[in-house]
Chain A
């Protein structure tokens, strides 16, 4: 059970860390100052969520302390999905990724707030309001940009076409899933994906955006197979920390 829980929390935390890291790259470079600030806050929140989960892992499941676990771990031991790894492109891509990811994130934490895993419940409850803002932000942007003329609508549709297969990779299954489901810790990725689709579908309809079909999920991340972007990202993230991992920074 320990291995299954470690896997579950690690994949959630890795997603949050890598996406938070990517989103933080916009800080100071956003499309307008007000949005720069809002998006940066959410990047900080995500990195904070990762830190929270790594801390639970460290204190209760014996993984290395959060800094070492995040900044020194090898690429193959990361469990994030490909969606979060891709470099930022134009803002449409970042917004769509944020929309698709944060609705899934909201659902994950809603389930976690009722999980049989007691160590996670207070953490999940604490994040509720934060994530509510993230989805509010994502919904507001998506609805407005999708209704703001041809160019803008076209960009959002193209971003959805590109992101959806990657987003389906968030729900990649693993051999730990049955164990987690039977213990009432986690409802399983199949159920999660269905709930997610149910949640985003009406929002996409509101935006007149079309679900690309068929969309094959891009899997691999949950098993340690990553895009060519994760390795360089981790090298960059650890560049200073790894100068002397024993030092205090």
Chain B
């Protein structure tokens, strides 16, 4: 396996794994407050799945030779990134429904494409992940519809959440192709199977009508489909995107503190049961 291919694969899979683990935090915000049994159970199960996705992806990356401890350390030190979208706060219950519906939908666009890529262990993890994502999307959509078809207060809550999340969603697919650093190479290697701009265009096609049909709006007056079938939209603020990547988003610091707390508070459990012969084992691929 070419060295560069391996390195880029590790980088990509590792970032994906970190995103799952950090993604558990914004939605976790509402775990103790989910309204009613159905939502409470679904939300816990959904956040649990995200942790599970992280677990599967770290395993896939480990087959390439980097140990999970090393990946976690790179996350905690900031050396390795995770998806920007999780550095935004989930302010109300409605934010959780928007995340569950639309962020998971966006993740599916990306993951379904990459599941056809060239590295088997990553693709296998993605297959399992996509299966679970369809539950995430469905439960998110269901909770979203409940608010959209509910009382005025619920609709307003939802509209405000949509307004907050639209730009982070447009950012989600990554910077424009012309500025993307690794994009072209990853596509040549069939690690990344769709370009950022292609995915950004594919997303509104599937989901904007589902928002509009409920009488909800999106905070972009320019958003529309042209005759050629391409979506037109106001370019999201890319300066903001890079600012958030570099640590200046509203929740970067909190997410990192909480993740560090989890690692620290679990340390006694892990070290108590540590085996001193384990150091250089990797999964069999």
Listed in ascending order, the chain A residues whose CB lies under 8 Å from chain B are: 21, 24-25, 27-37, 40-41, 43-44, 47-48, 50-51, 66-67, 70-71, 90-91, 144-145, 148-149, 151-152, 155, 236-237, 239-241, 243-244, 247-249
Closest to B40 in A: A47
Q: Are A40 and B48 in contact (CB under 8 A)?
A: yes
B262 at the interface (CB under 8 A from A): yes
Can you list 12 residue pairs at the A/B interface with Cβ under 8 Å? A27-B48, A36-B48, A47-B40, A48-B41, A67-B36, A145-B273, A148-B273, A149-B272, A151-B268, A151-B272, A244-B154, A249-B146
Residues of B within 8 A of A35 (CB): 269
How far is A213 from B270 in the complex, measured between Cα atoms in Å? 31
The 7 closest A-B pairs by CB, nearest first: A31-B266, A28-B24, A249-B35, A152-B272, A241-B35, A148-B272, A40-B48
CA distance A236 to B48 in the complex (A): 21
Evaluate contact between B31 and A27: CB separation under 8 angstroms: yes
Q: Are A249 and B47 in contact (CB under 8 A)?
A: no
A36 to B154, CA, bound (A): 32
Central interface residue in A27, A30, A90, A148, by most chain B CB within 10 Å = A27
Collect the chain B residues with CB atoms within 8 Å of residue A67's CB: 36-37
Asked whether B151 is an interface residue with its Cβ less than 8 Å from the other chain, the reply is yes
Number of residues in B with C-beta < 8 Å to the partner? Answer: 43
Q: For the complex formed, measure the closest distance between the CB of B92 and the CB atoms of chain A, giving whole angstroms.
A: 8
For residue B265, CB closer than 8 A to chain A, the reply is yes
Further contacts, 7 of them, CB under 8 A, given A28-B21, A30-B262, A31-B265: A33-B51, A40-B44, A47-B44, A145-B273, A241-B35, A248-B146, A249-B150
A27 CA to B25 CA, complexed, in Å: 9
Measured CB to CB, the nearest residue on chain B to A31 is B266
Is residue B218 contacting chain A, with contact meaning CB distance below 8 A? no
For A32, the chain B residues whose CB sits under 8 A away are 266, 269-270
- As a 0/1 sequence over residues 46 to 58 of chain B, the CB contacts with chain A under 8 angstroms (1 = contact) are 0110111011001
Q: Tell me the bound Cα distance from A24 to B43 in angstroms.
A: 10
Q: Identify the interface centre among A40, A66, A149: most chain B CB within 10 Å of its CB.
A: A40
CB of B265 within 8 A of CB of A70, answer no
- Chain B residue nearest to A145 (CB atoms) is B272
The answer to whether B31 touches A244, judged by C-beta atoms less than 8 angstroms apart, is no
Contact in complex: B44, A240 (CB < 8 Å): no
Mark interface residues in B84-99 (1 if CB within 8 Å of A CB, else 0): 0000000001000000
Q: Which residues of B contact A (CB under 8 A)?
A: 21, 24-25, 28, 30-37, 39-41, 44-45, 47-48, 50-52, 54-55, 58, 93, 143, 146, 150-151, 153-154, 258, 261-262, 265-270, 272-273
Of A44, A144, A149, the residue contacting B44 (CB under 8 A) is: A44
Residues of B within 8 A of A70 (CB): 37
> Are B36 and A244 in contact (CB-based, < 8 A)?
no
Scoring B24, B32, B54, B269 by chain A CB atoms within 10 A of each residue's CB, the highest score goes to: B269
A91-B37 contact, Cβ under 8 Å, with A27-B48, A44-B44? no
Cα separation A43 to B40 with both chains bound (whole Å): 11
* Closest CB in chain B relative to A159 CB, distance in Å: 12
CA distance A30 to B31 in the complex (A): 14
Contacts of B47 in A (CB 8 A): 27-28, 40
Closest to A21 in B: B32
Given A37-B51, A41-B48, residue A152 in contact with residue B25 (CB < 8 A): no
Q: Are B28 and A152 in contact (CB under 8 A)?
A: no
Shortest C-beta distance, B149 to chain A (Å), equals 8
- Output the least CB separation between B35 and chain A (Å): 4
In the complex, how many angstroms separate the beta carbon of A244 from the nearest chain B beta carbon?
6
B262 touches A29 (CB 8 A): yes
Whether A237 lies near B33 (C-beta < 8 A) is yes
A37–B32 touching, CB < 8 Å = no
Neighbouring A residues of B261 by C-beta, 8 Å: 29
- What residues of A have a CB within 8 angstroms of the CB of B31 in the complex? 24-25, 27-28
Per the bound structure, the CA–CA distance linking A236 and B34 in Å amounts to: 9
A44 to B267, CA, bound (A): 25
Q: Are B52 and A37 in contact (CB under 8 A)?
A: yes
Residues from chain B with a CB closer than 8 A to the CB of A50 are: 37
* A27 B24 Cβ-Cβ under 8 A: yes
| Closest residue of A by beta carbon distance from B52 | A37
Query: Is there an interface contact between A239 and B269, defined as CB atoms closer than 8 Å?
Result: no
Q: Please, how many angstroms separate the alpha-carbon atoms of A244 and B261 in the complex?
A: 35
Looking at the assembled complex, report how far the CB atom of A248 sits from the nearest CB atom of chain B, in whole angstroms. Answer: 6
Known: A47-B40, A243-B153. A24 touches B32 (CB 8 A): yes
In-complex Cβ contact of B32 among A25, A31, A33, A148 (8 A): A25
Does B35 contact A144, Cβ atoms closer than 8 Å? no
Query: In this complex, what residue of A is CB-closest to B25?
Result: A28
